[in-house]
Amino acid sequence: MTQSARRNAKVPSNEMTAMLIIFVATNAFLTYPRYISRNAYEAAWMEPVLSGALTLILFLIVEFLLRKYFRNLDIVEVSKEVFGRFGAGCVALLFSLYFLCSTAAVMREFTENVVSTVLPATPLIFVGAVFMFAVGYIAYAGIEGICRASFIFLPLLLVGLVAVCLMTMNWWHPYFLLPLWGTGVDRVFVGSFQYASIFANVLLLTIIYPHVHDTRATRRMGVVSISVSTCLLVALMLTYHMVFPPEETGKTTFALYRLARIIHMGPFFQRLESIFVFLWVTAATIRMSVTLWGAAYLLSKAFNWSSYRPAIPSLVLISFSMGMWADSWVQVIDLDGKYLLRWGWTVVFALPLVILLLGSTVRAIRRDRADEHDDNGGRMRRA
Amino acid sequence: MLKFCSLMVIPVLVFFYTMSFSRWLAKRAGTGAYVSAAMLGVISLGVSAVTIWRLVM
C-alpha cells in the first residue's frame, strides 16, 4: 500500500487547514448565497459571521473532548465505546449517507453549472462522469493526497476569489447594504443557525483527528480555517450584495458566476468567467473528494475492512447515480436547500457532539470506578 | 438498449471488483466485513442500472 493511502497516515496541520478552508469556501459557488440572501436580504453577509462563530465554539469544545478523552480516536471508535459495534455501524452509515448525498448534490450542481455556462453542447452525463472520475481518483489517493492537493491549490483559489471581489469594484453600490439588519435580527439569527451546516469542520475534525500530525496544533488549525473561510464568505457576500439589489440576490443560483460575468474593466479585462469556472470546479473536486473519502473511511472503520480504497469505485457510482436521479436542476437545488442545508446541522454538529459527550461521560465513570477499585484494593492490602 | 448495455459496462466491472474485494475480506476480516462489502457492490450496481435506465430509455 502506498504511503498516501495508509489508514494511519499523518498529515501536517497546514495542509489540513488548507483542506478545511477549501471545503467551507466552496459553498460560496453553490446555492448557499441564494438561501442566505433569500432569508436575510441586505444582512446576508452577517449569517456566515454568526455561523462561523458558532462553529468555532463547537470546534473548540469538540477538540477539548477529543484531546482529553479520545486521543488518536475517530468518531466511529468513540461510537463503538458508547453504542457497541452495531450502534457504531449505524452511526457510520448515517454519516456516510450524509457525505454521499452531499457529494451527489455538489456534483449535479457543478455539472449543471459547467454545462449551462462553458460546455453547452456536451451531454450532462458525460461531464458528470468525468467529474466523478477525477473525484474518485483524488479520494483513492487518501487524506494525504487530498490535503496536499488542497495546500497547492489554495493560493490559486484565494487569488481567484479576491479577484472576483475586486474586479467588480466599478459596479459596487454600498447603499444596497442598507438597512443594516435586512429582514430583521431574529431572521438573521435563525438563518445563521439553520444554514450553519456548511461549516462541516466539527464533523470533519472527529474523522480526521487521528490523522493530524501534531495534535497540539489542532486548535490553531480550527481557528485559522474557520476564520479564513468566514472572511472569504463575508467578502463574497458583501460584494454580491453591493452589486445586485436584495430582491435579485435570492433568485440567482450561482452567485459568483453572475458576479464574474459582469467584470468589465476596459477592453482587455471582461468576460473572465470561464477562467473562474475552472478554478471553482477544481475546488469542488477537492470538496467532493473529501466527502467521498470520508464515506469510504467511515464504512471501512465500522465494518472492519482492511482498506477503504476498494470501496471508492462503488461509492463513486452510488453518488453519481444519486446526483443524476433528480429530473431537473431545480429539483436538486430544492432538495439541497430543504434537507442538506437546513437540517445538515443535526449531522454536522449535534450528532458528533452528543456522541463525544456520551463517550466522555462513559470514560469518566469508568475512570472513577477504577479509582474506587484501586482505593479498596489498597485499603485491603494495608488491613 | 445498446446504449444502456454499453453504459452499464463500467458499473458491471466495478461490481466484479467490489465482489472480489468482499471475497478477499471473507478470508481476512470475517463475515461482517464480507457481507457489508458485498452489499455495497450490489447496491452500487442496482442504483447505477436504475439511474442509467431512467437517463437513456
pLDDT, tens digit, 9 for 90 and up, residues A118-155: 888 888 889 999 999 999 999 999 999 999 999 999 99
Domain assignment of residue B41, yes or no: yes
Q: Mean pLDDT, to the nearest integer, of A76-89?
A: 89
Per-residue three-class SS string for chain B? CHHHHHHCHHHHHHHHHHHHHHHHHHHHCCHHHHHHHHHHHHHHHHHHHHHHHHHHC
**CATH number of A194's domain:** 1.20.1740.10
Residue B51, pLDDT > 60, answer: yes
- For A348-372, the pLDDT digits (tens) are 999 999 999 999 998 888 888 887 7
Kindly list the residues from chain B whose CB atom is less than 8 angstroms away from the CB atom of residue A126. none
Count of beta carbons in the 10 Å neighbourhood of residue A247? 9
Which residues, other chains included, contact A6 with Cβ-Cβ below 8 Å and sequence gap of 6+?
Answer: A142, A144
Q: CA nearest A74: which of A354, A366, A355, A287?
A: A355
Kindly list the residues from chain A whose CB atom is less than 8 angstroms away from the CB atom of residue B54. 325
Count of domains forming chain A? 1
Domain assignment of residue B13, yes or no: yes
Q: Of A72 and A381, which is predicted with more confidence?
A: A72
Q: Is A306 on the interface with B (CB under 8 A)?
A: yes
Distance between CA atoms of residues A207 and A184, nearest Å: 37
For chain A, the C-alpha Rg in angstroms (whole number) is 22
Chain B closest CA to A352's CA: distance in Å?
A: 23
Residue A3, pLDDT > 70, answer: no
Distance of CA A6 to the CA centre of its chain: 23
Residue A5, pLDDT > 60, answer: no
Give Cα separations from A382 to A368, A370, A375, A376 (angstroms): 21, 18, 11, 10
Q: Is A305 on the interface with B (CB under 8 A)?
A: yes
Question: What's the grid cell of residue A74?
Answer: 475517530
CB atoms B47 and A314 under 8 Å? no
- Least confident window among A108-112, A116-120, A172-176, A352-356: A116-120
- Least confident window among A19-23, A74-78, A264-268: A264-268
Q: Mean pLDDT, to the nearest integer, of A230-258?
A: 88
Domain assignment of residue B50, yes or no: yes
Chain B closest CA to A112's CA: distance in Å?
A: 15
Q: Which residue range(s) make up the domain with B35?
A: 9-56
Kindly list the residues from chain B whose CB atom is less than 8 angstroms away from the CB atom of residue A321. 44, 47-48, 50-52
Mean of pLDDT over chain A: 88
Q: Is the ipTM of this complex over 0.90?
A: yes
Which residues, other chains included, contact A289 with Cβ-Cβ below 8 Å and sequence gap of 6+?
Answer: A135, A136, A138, A139, A146, A149
- For A301-345, the pLDDT digits (tens) are 999 898 899 999 999 999 999 999 888 888 888 888 888 888 889
Which residues, other chains included, contact B9 with Cβ-Cβ below 8 Å and sequence gap of 6+?
Answer: none
3-state secondary structure of A270: strand
Q: CA nearest A265: which of A174, A173, A171, A175?
A: A171
Count of domains forming chain B? 1
A58 falls in which pLDDT band (50, 70, 90)?
very high
Q: What are phi and psi of A199, to 5 degrees?
A: -85, 85
Count of beta carbons in the 10 Å neighbourhood of residue A344? 22
Chain A closest CA to B10's CA: distance in Å?
A: 9
Domain assignment of residue B48, yes or no: yes
Domain assignment of residue B25, yes or no: yes
DSSP 8-state code for residue A252? -
Residue A208, pLDDT > 70, answer: yes
pLDDT of residue A383: 66
Question: What's the grid cell of residue A277?
Answer: 469556472
B31 falls in which pLDDT band (50, 70, 90)?
confident
pLDDT of residue A373: 76
Q: Of A368 and B50, which is predicted with more confidence?
A: B50
Mean of pLDDT over chain B: 91
Distance between CA atoms of residues A27 and A15, nearest Å: 19
Q: Which residue range(s) make up the domain with A22?
A: 3-382
